[in-house]
Amino acid sequence: MIQERFENCKLRLNEEKTKIVYCKSSRRKEHYPNVAFDFLGFTFQPRESVDKYGIRFTGFLPAVSQKSMKRINETIRSWHLNRFSNQTLEHLAADINPIIRGWMTYYGKFYPTRLKWFMQTLNGRLAR
């Protein structure tokens, strides 16, 4: 029945990218093979969280995906920051801050602790 509706409006689903995912959390505890998916650079999956009373629970939350982290790391590597040792830190910051600010604004919106590794990598490259 759903297939018929899609055929009428000529909408085609990509069979490789389309899947049904179980949104596992503290309230939903069944076991299913697919409990995570990637969407717009984020991975949605069960993650540990803390409520306003300090009680830990499992929620179905987004965080920056591995694919996005890899792309960010490749971009930082492509800058070859170690070649700019003759520039001041202020000049280097003026060049890369808009890009990093965009990443932090977009990916830091949800589960910002996941970006901690990214910031440590960037600091290490800048220190070199």
Domain boundaries, the chain: 22-127
Measured on CA atoms in the order 75, 69, 90, 80, is the torsion positive or negative?
A: negative
By the 8 A CB rule, do 45 and 91 touch? no
pLDDT band at 4 (very low <50, low <70, confident <90, very high): low
Q: Quick one: average pLDDT of 35-52?
A: 90
Lowest model confidence (mean pLDDT) among 37-46, 66-75, 117-126: 117-126
The CATH number of 22-127 is 3.30.43
pLDDT of 1 above 70:
no
By the 8 A CB rule, do 115 and 72 touch? no
pLDDT of amino acid 11: 72
Q: Which of 71, 68, 78, 73 is nearest to 108 (CA)?
A: 68
Measure the CA–CA gap between 105 and 84, rounded to whole angstroms: 26
Q: Give the helix/strand (H/E) hosting 117.
A: helix 116-127
